[in-house]
Amino acid sequence: MSWFESLILGLVQGLTEFLPISSSAHLRLTAAFAGWEDPGAAFTAITQIGTETAVLIYFRKDISRIVSAWFRSLTNKAMRQDHDAQMGWLVIIGSIPIGVLGITLKDQIEGPFRDLRLTATMLIVMGVILGVADRLAARDEVGGKHRAARERKSLRDLSVKDGLIYGVCQALALIPGVSRSGATISGGLLMGYTRESAARYSFLLAIPAVLASGAFELKDASEGGHVSWGPTVFATIVAFVVGYAVIAWFMKFITTKSFMPFVYYRVALGILIIVLVSTGALSPHAAESAG
């Protein structure tokens, strides 16, 4: 991998990780359209450490409160009723599905799941689901001619059941094209949470999964020697800087705006890929040699 490729891929990772459009799909598509080798699952997981570091810094106050309350709850029974302590447990519980499936389906993630036809299908299907979820949220927020606006749930209403459902939604993102934030935000909206609450828990829930995945891939890459470390580290730094800016923008955007622009984009991109693959202009396994 060249330094130019790492710069572009780092920018793509930072720009797309937190938007509901699938960063893994865009990394793969960028390589395919540019005629580069597939950056591979290891590159994706390692550069995600950069974007997740941006989450740690942006939500540092929330994370500090949650971690502190969670540790105190281990020895203080009264603290177990504290919202922040409960959030710590809910993040752990919600991380179980992706942890189990990530290990179980590792070979599929690095192989069959990277087929561009599957990526395109997931872009469209999850885009439609996000659109439906967004419409339901908008209907509750503004009401209608014959119905009053309905208050949506906040993170204080998060239960173990909802945390597990969020976790299953996050696990779907093991398939390129799904989008970690897109799946978890859609799940949250369908369960009745506000846009801001769904996005906030989505970002917090991703921390253990992404850092664990990155550490796992770092270990494998160090032993296997199949990663270009200089360009990969550079891409990770670029992803961190860009990712932090995107988080700040996105959290402000969702308080007043709809997710529909992302829905239209996902569907259009998915259709474009299907057309290109169907006409032979793009191989479903393009840029897969380094996968």
Quickly state the pLDDT bin for 289 (edges 50, 70, 90).
very low
Q: Where is pLDDT greater, at 83 or 226? A: 83
Distance CA 174, CA 126 (A): 13
pLDDT of residue 290: 37
The band of 291, judged by pLDDT with boundaries at 50, 70 and 90, is: very low
Longest dimension (CA), the chain: 64
pLDDT, one tens digit per residue, over 235-279 is: 999 999 999 999 999 999 988 889 999 999 999 999 999 999 999
| Across 135-160, average pLDDT | 84
Exposed (0-12), middle (13-18) or buried (19+): which is 136, by Cβ within 10 Å? middle
Q: What pLDDT sits at residue 145?
A: 64
User: Which amino acid, residue 173?
Assistant: A
Higher pLDDT, 48 or 187: 187
pLDDT for the residue 144: 61
